[in-house]
Amino acid sequence: MHKDSSPDVVVVAPDPDWTVQGEDLAEELYGLLRPLAVHVEHIGSTAVPGMAAKPVLDLQISVHELEEAEGAFTGPLADRGFALAPYRQDHVPAGSDDDPARWTKRLWTRQGHQGLDVNLHVRQAGSPNERLALLFRDWLRAHPEAVPAYARFKQVLAQAVPDLATYADVKDPVVDLVVAVAEPWARATGWQPSATKTARPAAHRR
> What is the rounded end-to-end Cα distance, in angstroms, of the chain?
27
Tens digit of each residue's pLDDT (9 = 90 or more) over 67-83: 999 999 999 999 999 99
Amino acid at 202: A
pTM: 0.89
Give the number of other CB atoms < 10 A from CB of residue 11.
Answer: 20
Tens digit of each residue's pLDDT (9 = 90 or more) over 18-58: 999 999 999 999 999 999 999 999 999 999 999 999 999 99
Distance CA 167, CA 114 (A): 26
* pLDDT the model gives residue 206: 38
**Element at 83 (helix H, strand E):** strand 83-84
What is the sign, positive or negative, of the torsion defined by CA atoms of 82, 140, 123, 63?
negative
Backbone angles phi, psi at 54, to 5 degrees: -65, 140
Distance CA 150, CA 165 (A): 19
Show pLDDT as tens, one digit a residue, over the chain (206 residues).
444 434 468 999 999 999 999 999 999 999 999 999 999 999 999 999 999 999 999 999 999 999 999 999 999 999 999 999 999 999 999 888 899 999 999 999 999 888 899 999 999 999 999 999 999 999 999 999 999 999 999 999 999 998 988 999 999 999 999 999 999 999 999 999 865 554 444 434 43
Distance CA 200, CA 198 (A): 6
Give the number of other CB atoms < 10 A from CB of residue 112.
Answer: 6
* pLDDT the model gives residue 61: 98
Tell me the percentage of the chain whose pLDDT exceeds 90: 83
∠ CA(76), CA(102), CA(117), 5° rounding? Answer: 40
CA–CA distance from 65 to each of 25, 47, 104 (Å)?
22, 25, 11
* pLDDT the model gives residue 116: 92
* pLDDT the model gives residue 196: 55
Q: For residue 163, what are the contacts with CB-CB under 8 A and spacing of at least 6?
A: 4, 5, 6, 7, 9
